[in-house]
Amino acid sequence: MIKRFGKIYVILSGIFMCLALPLHSEELEYKYELGGMTGGSFYLGDANYSGMFKNMNIMGGVVWRYNFNPRMVLKTNLAMARISGDTAGGENKFPGGDTDFSRTIYDLGVQFEYNFFAYGEGTGYKRTHRLTPYIMGGIGATFAPEPLESVFTPNIAVGVGAKYKLAPRLNLGCELSFRMTFSDKLDVTKSDAPILEDPYDIKSSGMKNKDSYSFFAIFLTYDLSPKYRECNN
């Protein structure tokens, strides 16, 4: 009986050591992050050529990340935002006079992120950092179902950001991204408004002279699914 309890004690001790060692002697990595983001959105196009952060509106959404390693990440986002613009007071004069617009857009995107520093808790032998800047790039789709004409277009996203590990499984960050679309109709919402789609009748191809929009977002995510839990004893 004593030998049996001794074996059970050894087995239980080994299990608890396996559970405890990664939390104290080794930094634990997680496969996924899931969370939300909120912030501002603004538009760049015929009704706003170069005014960064002009006519700022609200945006929000959800974000999911797959962490390949502490430096490389695959991210997916689904966001809803308002964009607006106004030609009044601008340098360019449009045929038919000034106009303005406002509409809701939905953005679904996939981006690759690269952390400048290995991101983690900042403990253990891996020499990770709790704070790191990063760059991102990817592709996505934009859908604008507002009045007059619905718009669906691909987009290309680029951006920069920074993230900070608040706790072992909690991440806080901010990101500025630009979504460049293949459409010149995001600012077309009124049937009686001056034409903002090729207003000077200058045809273009690809992404030239097309509409774009930007997000300045603050996000909070929670780590899910440990990559491994290995006993080193």
Q: What's the CATH code of the domain at 96?
A: 2.40.160.20
Whether the Cβ atoms of residue 107 and residue 83 lie closer than 8 Å to each other: no
Structural domain harbouring 114? 2-226
Q: Does the structure show a pLDDT above 70 at 21? A: no
pTM, rounded to two decimals: 0.77
Highest mean pLDDT among 7-16, 23-32, 163-172: 163-172
Going by C-alpha positions, the residue among 105, 89, 51, 96 that lies closest to residue 197 is 96
- Is 119 domain-assigned? yes
159-212 per-position pLDDT tens digit? 999 999 999 999 999 999 999 999 988 887 665 554 555 555 555 555 567 899
More confident: 182 or 28: 182
Average pLDDT, the chain: 81
For 56-82, write each residue's pLDDT tens digit.
999 999 999 999 999 999 999 999 999
**Domain contains 231:** no
Q: Is 180 part of a structural domain of the chain?
A: yes
What is the rounded average pLDDT of the residues 91-102? Answer: 63
Q: Rounded CA gap, 98 and 232, in Å?
A: 70
* d(C-alpha 24, C-alpha 229), whole Å: 12
Model confidence at 130: pLDDT above 50: yes
* CA distances for 145 relative to 48, 111, 141, 157, angstroms: 21, 24, 13, 21
Take residue 153 and report the two structure tokens written for it: 């277009």
Residue 15 has pLDDT above 50, yes or no: no
How many domains does one find in the chain? 1
Report the b/e string of 132-148 with b at 16+ CB within 10 A.
Answer: bebebebebebebeeee
In a domain, 200, yes or no: yes
Q: Kindly state whether residue 232 falls inside one of the protein's structural domains.
A: no
Q: What is the band of 2 on the pLDDT scale with cuts at 50, 70, 90?
A: very low
